[in-house]
């Protein structure tokens, strides 16, 4: 399968160094959290060639760092929590230099009224996780501390997660959309899962901050992702590539579509890039 050499994409990327922005779950790793050897090898080679590879993920910092290390990125940048956290990597040192903090109280109150049995978790401005119930997830990168809902409402947040075990992904998505949440940015996942960030905060907003720091032209940016939280990133990039298993609304905004994660779709893109 070819992606970068399709009509209209061939001239987007040239031999200059690129800013390559990669989603994690469903892109670098499959839905069992496994990275194939082919993806690992191609990504590490792209890093070794001197391209600026930026992990851009909904995962929190602690859950994203192992991916950074596995790809051999020992100097660079990371976008975590869907753009809510930006960090600089220098060897073993990790410097969080930007956090988008917001007041989640109105959104949480509205969600609680509609979804009282859902599980709620919040990443605060110190990178700690608080939850309304025993609720943890690999994307947190840390154990959550159970607190009462009032404490959640009164906390400042970088990221809020809502998970329902009582609804299908479709019903959950319709319920969330019907609430008309305002003052925040949110995306619904593959399951009955909701990620909430500060208004205007997305992977794209975080990457644009980094692009300005790194002084890349927009034309020299490439992004690959598969989820609804990748839509703005794919639109932002000079070339946005959707994974083959992505929902139609994600594919619709992409410039190109590669194979699915189980067919090493990311490796297909990176190997083509390495051949240029």
For the domain made up of 19-99+202-274, give the CATH fold: Rossmann fold (3.40.50)
Specify the CATH number of the domain 105-198: 3.30.1240.10
Sign of torsion over alpha carbons 14, 17, 19, 24? positive
Tell me the domain boundaries of the chain. 19-99+202-274, 105-198
Does 105-198 match 19-99+202-274 at the fold level?
Answer: no
pLDDT tens digits, 5-22: 554 555 555 668 999 999
**Could you tell me which residues come within 8 angstroms of residue 222 by beta carbon, excluding any fewer than 6 positions away?**
13, 18, 19, 20, 21, 237, 238, 239, 240, 241, 269, 273
Please state the pTM of the whole predicted model: 0.89
pLDDT tens digits, 180-216: 666 677 776 656 778 888 999 999 999 999 999 999 9
pLDDT tens digits, 151-174: 999 999 999 988 887 766 666 666
3-state secondary structure 54-72: EEECCCCHHHHHHHHHHCC
What pLDDT score does 165 carry? Answer: 74
pLDDT tens digits, 29-60: 999 999 999 999 999 999 999 999 999 999 99
- Average pLDDT of 86-109? 94
């Amino acid at each position: 399968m070819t992606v970068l050499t399709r009509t209209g994409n061939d001239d987007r990327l040239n031999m200059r160094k690129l800013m390559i922005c990669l989603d994690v779950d469903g892109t670098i790793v499959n839905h069992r959290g496994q990275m194939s050897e082919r993806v690992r090898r191609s990504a590490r080679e792209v890093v070794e060639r001197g391209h600026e590879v930026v992990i851009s993920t909904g995962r929190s910092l602690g859950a994203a760092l192992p991916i950074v290390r596995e790809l051999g990125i020992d100097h660079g940048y990371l976008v975590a929590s869907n753009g809510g956290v930006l960090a600089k990597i220098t060897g073993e040192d990790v410097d969080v230099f930007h956090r988008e903090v917001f007041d989640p109280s109105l959104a949480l109150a509205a969600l609680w009224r509609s979804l009282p049995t859902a599980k709620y978790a919040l990443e605060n401005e110190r990178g700690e996780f608080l939850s309304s119930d025993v609720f943890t997830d690999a994307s947190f990168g840390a154990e959550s501390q159970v607190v009462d809902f009032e404490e959640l409402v009164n906390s400042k947040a970088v990221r809020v997660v809502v998970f329902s075990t009582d609804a299908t992904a479709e019903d959950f998505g319709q319920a969330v959309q019907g609430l008309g949440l305002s003052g925040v940015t949110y995306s619904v996942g593959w399951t009955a899962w909701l990620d909430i960030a500060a208004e205007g905060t997305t992977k794209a907003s975080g990457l644009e901050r980094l692009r300005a720091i790194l002084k890349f032209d927009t034309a020299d940016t490439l992004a690959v992702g598969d989820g609804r939280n990748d839509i703005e990133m794919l639109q932002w990039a000079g070339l946005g590539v959707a994974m083959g298993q992505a929902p139609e609304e994600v594919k619709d905004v992409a410039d190109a579509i590669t194979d699915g994660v189980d067919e090493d779709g990311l490796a297909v893109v990176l190997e083509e890039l390495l051949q240029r």
